[in-house]
Chains A and B, each alone.
Chain A
Amino acid sequence: MKVLVPVKRVIDYNVKARVKADQTGVDLANVKMSMNPFDEIAVEEAVRLKEGKEHHAAGTATEIVVVSIGVTQAQETIRTALAMGADRGLLIQSDSDLEPLAVAKLLKAVVDEEKPDLVLLGKQSIDGDNNAVGQMLAALLDWPQATFASKIEIGGGKATVTREVDGGLQTLAATLPAVVSVDLRLNTPRYASLPNIMKAKKKEIAVKATSDYGVDVAPRLKVLKVTEPPKRAGGIKVTDAADLVAKLKTAGVL
């Protein structure tokens, strides 16, 4: 089974995003960038499907292709995935920040070319917080989708996926090929070892342009401004419970 894993280069999750003074966006100059944390989980699960780790049969995945859409430096993100165990990479270069609809259309073109049996991707990127690309890709392909996966079992031509939903867990069986988006608790991603980082340097990364796919990537949404959220007024310290309860009663919340 061939698995396609889309990954995104985003601001590191430990960095607090700063809004630019001119309100045109978030300042990404000289900020640490990393692989989107949910995408790391998707790469890890794909590699486990290949290795036969946890409850997966060895060789469930036979080839793992990693694709990223973005600036040249997104190759580093692909390289990280290759060091974790993916087989080869594809970068679709774009200097502008593409919307989920454009990304889904480009990924559909990649799926049409690569013909994977499973697309495994993060449930959301921690920059745009859209939570949309996987669902949109599934729609464009007319494939079934299973979002927010916390457990994946592959067998009998199906992906049986336990999903994290409001109020608990739901299990679905999606006929392959399918799109599965992963949630935090699916697995704990590995750190790439130094030998694997060295080996990853020899793996192939194909580079293409968005224009190679003949897809309409024009933005549909215009960002009018990006602002800081309202700041909370400074709080006060209390030193005992009676004082705290009195203050909460005065504030009208008890």
Chain B
Amino acid sequence: MAVLVIADRDGNTVRDTTHKTVTAALALSGDVDVLIIGQGSKAAADAAAKIAGVRKVLLAESAGLGHQLAEAVEQTVVGLAGGYDAILSPATTDGKNFMPRIAAKLDVAPISDIVEVVSADTFVRPIYAGNALETIQSSDGKKVITVRPTTFAAAAEGGSAPVETVAGADAGKTAFVNEEMVKSDRPELGAAKIVVSGGRALGSAEEFHAVMDPLADKLGAAVGASRAAVDAGYAPNDYQVGQTGKVVAPALYIAIGISGAIQHLAGMKDSKIIVAINKDADAPIFQVADFGWVADYKTAVPELMKALG
């Protein structure tokens, strides 16, 4: 069987999430092609060609594909689908946006956010905010799957796949207006080895940044936030970790002033080591924390900064 991986790319580079999706694809089949969708994306295609295990890279470029608009991506991918038994994409906001659309056009049931490949037709995915795992078997001839990147290892570099150009579609009824990306010098939340996350206890946006930013810089960490902190306006939306935000699984997750609601745990409970700093000894976060410290963040964080040297 042949598998098509739709790459997650950023300008000239392919993101780590693509490498992780290739790992999931290789668990299905040895014939894995990577599709780069965009405009002016030759460099990204060359980068994808270096992923070990990739058979070939397909490059689809058109004006309508520049912003990965769902309608144009769907047309492009459906045009290529005939040659593939499975189509995979990382479960990023882009993947979640266009993959179900592709599935509906192909009349197949999409399989969202898999965390394990059991066999070529059987997969494991979390449901109910990660409180249950379902093992599902697909009877569809073609599988359309999004992959939770945090649970797969990244495929190595070292390949040298050929790059082919394929036709790209135009957007049609949707037009891109603009985008406002949050600029940050810190590691990306989804890929960071250490994440420090703040909750509602921090009380204000000023306090949130005054406490979290120096700690993150000291640890080379990304900054996350609970939904409560985001809803209160202490942190931007894309900091949110949880069922409705990002799912992270860093080596170290430090939760500061976060109670540990079900929806937050869904986004971080697969972290290797979880540290909780909270002054409420009964906070649910302590049930999942490897190291719990019952303390007010106002004294604990400065102490921690000092101990880190």
Contacts and interface: CB of A to CB of B under 8 A. Distances in A.
Interface of A: 11, 13-14, 16-19, 26, 99-101, 104, 124, 126-140, 143-148, 150, 160, 163-175, 178, 183-185, 219-229, 232-233, 235-242, 244-245, 247-248, 251, 253-254
B interface bracket (residues with beta carbon within 8 Å of A):
35 or more
A171 B178 contact: yes
Main secondary structure of the interface of B (DSSP, over half): mixed
User: Which of A134, A138, A167, A251 lies at the interface centre, i.e. has the most chain B CB atoms within 10 A of its CB?
Assistant: A167
A241 B81 CA distance: 55
Contacts of B230: 185
Contacts of A150: 237
Nearest to B301: A241
User: Which of B100, B238, B252 lies at the interface centre, i.e. has the most chain A CB atoms within 10 A of its CB?
Assistant: B100
Contacts of B252: 248, 253-254
Contact of A164 (B238, B272, B286): B238
Contacts of A232: 269, 274, 288, 290
A126 B243 contact: yes
A181 to B, nearest CB: 9
A107 B83 CA distance: 30
Contacts of B126: 129, 229
User: Which of A11, A160, A178, A251 lies at the interface centre, i.e. has the most chain B CB atoms within 10 A of its CB?
Assistant: A251
Contacts of A129: 112-113, 125-129, 243
Given A129-B128, A229-B269, 15 more contacts: A13-B262, A17-B127, A126-B129, A132-B112, A145-B101, A164-B238, A173-B175, A175-B173, A220-B139, A221-B136, A228-B131, A229-B131, A235-B286, A238-B293, A253-B251
A168 B273 contact: no
B238 A167 contact: yes
Interface stretch (B24-32, B38-46, B69-77, B202-210): B69-77
Contacts of A184: 227, 231, 244
A224 B194 CA distance: 35
Contacts of B101: 135-136, 138-139, 145
Contact of A235 (B130, B178, B231, B292): B292
A81 to B, nearest CB: 21
A132 B308 CA distance: 44
A248 B273 contact: yes
A235 B246 CA distance: 24
B103 A225 contact: no
Nearest to A135: B100
Counting from the closest, the 7 A-B pairs by CB-CB distance are A132-B100, A139-B104, A17-B128, A136-B104, A241-B307, A220-B109, A135-B100
B156 interface: no
B290 A146 contact: no
Interface stretch (B49-57, B88-96, B157-165): B88-96
B181 A168 contact: yes
Nearest to B131: A17
B132 A148 contact: no
A168 B137 contact: no
B190 interface: yes
A241 B300 contact: yes
B63 interface: no
Interface in B223-266: 227, 230-231, 236-238, 243-244, 246, 251-252, 262-263
A153 B103 CA distance: 29
Interface in B121-143: 122, 125-140
B70 to A, nearest CB: 5
A140 B104 contact: yes
A104 B67 CA distance: 25
B109 A221 contact: yes
B172 interface: yes
Nearest to A145: B70
Given A132-B110, A221-B139, A242-B307, A173 B177 contact: yes
Contacts of B231: 184-185
A66 B290 CA distance: 46
Given A126-B243, A220-B140, A185 B194 contact: no
Nearest to A99: B109
Nearest to A228: B132
B289 interface: yes
20 contacts: A16-B262, A26-B127, A101-B104, A130-B110, A135-B70, A136-B103, A139-B105, A140-B104, A145-B71, A147-B70, A160-B177, A163-B93, A166-B94, A183-B244, A184-B231, A220-B109, A221-B138, A223-B134, A244-B293, A245-B304
